Structure 1
Amino acid sequence: MTRVPKARLVLQDAMFVREKLENELGHIEWRLYWVLAVVLLRAVGHVLDKVDGSNDPAVKLEANALHKSWRSGDENAIFRDFIERERNSILKEYESEITEGPVPIMAYLQQHDGFDVIRQFLLEENIYRPMGAGAFEGEDGRTLLDEAIAWWARQLEAVDRRTTTSSR
């Protein structure tokens, strides 16, 4: 049994919204799903601390200890440089680093006669949605959401494991 049920529910909702982004072609709908997914991912930590932690002092203690560790280390870059940064940008400025609209792709082709040809293509479908800036520039935003979901799953497992062990 999990000791962090509300945080897991938020993560489950983030996973549901993430799936909506895979096939959504509507510009406004895609942007709203993106905002919701990012905000939900950040909410996992707040719910872990404020709700699950208020119901279980061991969870609160462990969540606070983990939160301090999330501010450093390469293994926590997805939290620090994506979840938190993107959420803050959205909530405080209603700006996002995700690319919207057609994405220009440059292809460098070498001809047999020695001349290079540069071709530009526009990806207008929902094939590639790269981050336009920041630590994950060029990464597809949906891939980052997947990494963030997996990261949160590991954090919640750690809280469950450590609080279960400490309560025995």
Structure 2
Amino acid sequence: MTVAAREVLEDCRGAVDEIGGGVQGRAWRRRWVAAVVLMRTVGYVLAAVDSKRSPAHKAAIDKAWAALSATKPEPAIFWSFIDMERHSIVHEYDIGAGQGVTVSPGAAIPVEHHYVMNSGPYAGKDQREVLRDCIGWWESYLDAIEREVGK
């Protein structure tokens, strides 16, 4: 089992849920940074904690990482977002996402909040959807490791 990595992944889900609802400015930025750093932390915890569960876990985790590394720069969701966005934040505090608001006086919904990727391969996409795609990718990655351990 990839218990520790899945614990981080669960916190990723919560972090994604906290982006939205009109959160703006520094509060939004803190939530974005937390979500992205947690997303990459899944892999670090997998390698540092879950790999110690058994020799079979270590072998499966190492095999999965070698396979992922061999396909770089694909999948883009990992290399061009999870890894790159975390690196940009942690090392340069360069944030590839943004937030904004549209005010439409007289409209049924007068204020609309936007949470969009500003740069990179996902520019223009809703950042919450990109993060949910990351969660799905991690789920598949962890599932494959667990199947390998179960062999």
TM over 0.5: yes
One-letter code aligned to 1:100? Q
Matched residue SS, 2:97: coil
What is the match of residue 79 of structure 2?
80
Q: Please list, as runs of the form range in 1=range in 2, the aligned pairs for 1:1-168 lying within 5 A after superposition.
A: 3-71=1-69, 72=71, 76-102=75-101, 125-126=112-113, 128-165=114-151
Give the gaps of 5 or more residues in structure 2: 103-110
What is the distance in 2 between the residues matched to 1:37 and 1:153?
16
- State the secondary structure of the residue aligned to 2:95: coil
8 A Cα contact 2:2 2:46, kept in partner: yes
- The alignment partner of 2:100 has SS state of coil
AA at the equivalent of 1:163? V
SS at match of 1:129: strand
3-state SS of 2:41 partner: helix
**Change over 3 Å in CA distance of 1:22–1:100 after alignment to 2:** closer
Q: Percent identity?
A: 35
Runs (4+) off by over 4 Å: none
What is the aligned length?
Answer: 143
Question: Which amino acid counterpart does residue 41 of structure 2 have in structure 1?
Answer: A
Q: Which runs of 5+ in 1 are unaligned?
A: 104-123
Structure 2 counterpart of 1:95, which letter? D
Which amino acid is the alignment partner of residue 60 of structure 2? E
Judge conservation of contact 2:51–2:57 (CA < 8 Å) in 1: yes
